């Protein structure tokens, strides 16, 4: 029997807000006092769940789902305010702040923040660091050393595509010879210090959240980026040819989000090799995630049952085939090592009977998206609140689809149709409310034990605030919540939702 933690142990509501979206002065959402203020706001509104997107370093097009390090954390989100408080930075170090608009200017934010972070790390290391740093490095040694070396080599060679590095550096063992070089050793130490800074600030956030009875839900991308330390350091676990390039890649066929499917480009796993090694790499990954979060949403859960295999040379995801995933045996092995698994299944898109059976046999809660019911309406739709099971997490929408305002008001004839349908099918006692608020209250009264709302829907924001447009690479992962927007939130409404 596979043991899954009963994370939906009580009815609770919460908010989906990526770490990078938190309001603040320094160009991008960050840990430290800014995150603490966000938690205090949630507590004031009676919200008990904070759901994040992945907190790994971002990769291509600033995507947290294409990270160069699955085990690492996004050091760009280290709190500058916290480093000032620690005495590792001084106010005179700051200089000109990046733009503080509704979208992140990654160029200016990265330039300022990395200069300050490296300065803080240098001061920290030159002061003799501390015992906590040594303990952290020893505990995380199974990934941290390779991570630091990969970061240094990526900077040295100007690309994260390690197949383009000189041949002697395309494996960890071959690359270790360069650690004797002073400049490389310094870069490795600096990256390890930055990971420690994140860890220390994250632990403070976890403590504050726990004191406020707020659970933090993380997000685990199922696949690793080819340009990552994870693939570079574990080539035998991925579908690669002798040169290190993928032979087959991940994605999904055409679905609700894209007419040509989504070709993510991540190399697929050699699941037989993982099985041979007792799923050790995956178990370490899950253990790390469970230390950071109270629960973890597994993105594209379906791939554990069956996944869309695309030949590497295919330009889109239209042509491919379904291949068998590791199934229940994987979760049995993980639970044997880790105990009950606090996971949520992202089970959207096209699901096979095999994927549904796996989710239900494991008793893992899935997702229910109200907006989906308005595009494919039928009385039996699983996305209608009256059809929500108890063991699920209800959402108005996710980071991948448009906002409720855009869907209901800003999309021409489609909006008119959706809004008319919503008003027709929504129980009459919600009709006196704004349609978005009425839909939220409708979900709150369903059987679903958890309900999580994107901040954009709470604020009735349109497409200008959208987080991601699947299959596009421009303008995503950059929306920021403004201080004035936060002040404008109807706290009484959120408290009412929490009570419901």
Per-residue pLDDT tens digits for 130-183: 889 999 999 999 999 999 999 999 999 999 999 999 999 999 999 998 988 999
pLDDT for position 10: 87
Q: How far apart are the first and last CA of the chain?
A: 35
Average pLDDT of the segment spanning 449-460? 97
Sequence spans of domains, the chain: 12-75+201-365+449-499
pLDDT bucket at 99, cuts 50 / 70 / 90: confident
Q: Are 93 and 116 in contact (CB under 8 A)?
A: yes
Q: Are 29 and 21 in contact (CB under 8 A)?
A: yes
| pLDDT tens, residue by residue, 63-74 | 999 999 999 999
**Euclidean distance between CA atoms 161 and 395, whole angstroms:** 37
Averaged pLDDT, 193-214: 97
Look over the chain and give the mean of its residue pLDDT values, rounded to a whole number: 94
Q: What is the mean pLDDT of residues 287-296?
A: 96
Compute the average pLDDT of residues 104-115: 95
Q: Give the pairing of strands 450-454 and 12-16.
A: parallel
Give the CA count within 13 Å in the CB-facing half-sphere of 395.
25
Which of 55, 74, 191 lies closest to 136 in space, CA to CA? 191
- Annotated catalytic residue within 74, 140, 294, 299: 299
| Topology, domain 12-75+201-365+449-499 | TIM Barrel (3.20.20)
Query: Backbone dihedral region of 478: left (phi > 0), alpha (psi from -120 to 50 degrees) or beta?
Result: alpha
pLDDT at 4: 64
- Find the catalytic residue in 160, 219, 306, 346: 346
How many CB atoms sit inside 10 A of residue 266's CB? Answer: 23
CB 452 within 8 A of CB 51: yes
pLDDT at 3 over 70: no
Q: What average pLDDT score do residues 47-52 get?
A: 98
299 is catalytic: yes
Q: Is the pLDDT of residue 1 over 60?
A: no
Residue 247 to residue 226: CA distance in whole angstroms: 11
Measured CA to CA, the distance from residue 284 to residue 304 in angstroms comes to 17
Residue 13: strand pairing partners:
451
Spatial strand order of the sheet with 262-267 comes to 262-267, 248-252, 306-311, 321-324
Whether residue 329 lies in the annotated active site = no
* Under 8 Å between Cβ of 397 and 403: yes
Going by pLDDT thresholds of 50, 70 and 90, the confidence category of residue 7 is low
User: 460-490 pLDDT, tens per residue?
Assistant: 999 999 999 987 889 999 999 999 999 999 9
* Catalytic option among 140, 191, 400, 402: 400
Average pLDDT over residues 106-135: 94
**pLDDT per residue over 354-394, tens digit each?**
999 999 999 999 999 999 999 989 999 999 999 999 999 99
Mean pLDDT, rounded, for 3-18: 83
* Mean pLDDT of the region 51-71: 96
445 classed as catalytic? no
pLDDT of residue 130: 85
Q: Is the pTM of this model over 0.75?
A: yes
């Amino acid at each position: 029997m596979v043991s899954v933690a009963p994370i939906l142990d009580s009815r609770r509501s919460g908010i989906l807000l990526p770490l990078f979206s938190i309001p603040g002065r320094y160009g991008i959402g960050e840990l430290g006092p800014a995150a603490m203020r966000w938690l205090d706001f949630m507590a004031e509104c009676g919200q008990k769940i904070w759901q994040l997107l992945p907190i790994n370093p971002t990769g291509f097009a600033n995507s947290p789902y294409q990270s160069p390090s699955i085990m690492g954390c996004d050091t760009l989100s280290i709190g500058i305010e916290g480093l000032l408080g620690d005495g590792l930075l001084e106010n005179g170090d700051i200089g000109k702040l990046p733009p503080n608009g509704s979208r992140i200017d990654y160029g200016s934010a990265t330039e300022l923040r990395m200069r300050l972070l490296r300065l803080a790390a240098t001061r920290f290391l030159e002061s003799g660091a501390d015992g906590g740093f040594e303990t952290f490095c020893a505990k995380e040694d199974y990934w941290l050393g390779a991570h630091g070396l990969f970061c240094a080599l990526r900077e040295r060679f100007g690309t994260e595509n390690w197949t383009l590095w000189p041949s002697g550096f395309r494996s960890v063992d071959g690359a270790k010879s360069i650690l004797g070089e002073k400049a490389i050793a310094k870069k490795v130490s600096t990256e390890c210090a930055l990971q420690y800074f994140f860890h220390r600030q994250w632990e403070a956030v976890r403590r504050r959240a726990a004191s406020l009875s707020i659970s933090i839900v993380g997000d685990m991308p199922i696949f690793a980026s080819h340009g990552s330390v994870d693939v570079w350091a574990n080539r035998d676990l991925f579908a690669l040819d002798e040169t290190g390039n993928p032979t087959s890649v991940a994605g999904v066929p055409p679905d609700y989000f894209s007419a040509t499917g989504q070709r993510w480009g991540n190399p697929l796993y050699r699941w037989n090799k993982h099985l041979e090694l007792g799923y050790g790499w995956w178990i370490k990954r899950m253990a790390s995630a469970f230390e950071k979060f109270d629960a973890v949403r597994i993105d594209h859960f379906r791939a554990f049952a069956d996944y869309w295999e695309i030949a590497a040379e295919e330009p889109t995801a239209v042509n491919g085939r379904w291949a068998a995933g590791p199934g229940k045996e994987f979760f049995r092995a993980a639970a044997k090592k880790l105990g009950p698994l606090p996971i949520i299944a992202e089970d959207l898109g096209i699901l096979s009977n095999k994927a549904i059976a796996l989710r239900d046999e494991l008793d893992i809660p899935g997702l229910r998206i109200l907006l989906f019911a308005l595009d494919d309406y039928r009385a039996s739709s699983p996305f209608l609140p009256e059809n929500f099971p108890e063991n699920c997490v209800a959402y108005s929408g996710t980071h991948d689809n448009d906002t409720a305002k855009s869907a209901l008001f800003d999309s021409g004839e489609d909006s008119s149709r959706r809004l008319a349908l919503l008003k027709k099918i929504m129980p009459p006692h919600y009709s006196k409310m704004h349609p978005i608020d009425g839909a939220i209250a409708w979900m709150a009264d369903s059987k679903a034990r958890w309900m999580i709302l994107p901040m954009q829907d709470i604020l009735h924001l349109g497409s200008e605030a959208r987080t991601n447009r699947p299959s596009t690479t421009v303008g995503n992962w950059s929306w920021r919540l403004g201080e004035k927007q936060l002040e404008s939130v109807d706290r009484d409404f959120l408290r009412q939702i929490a009570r419901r």
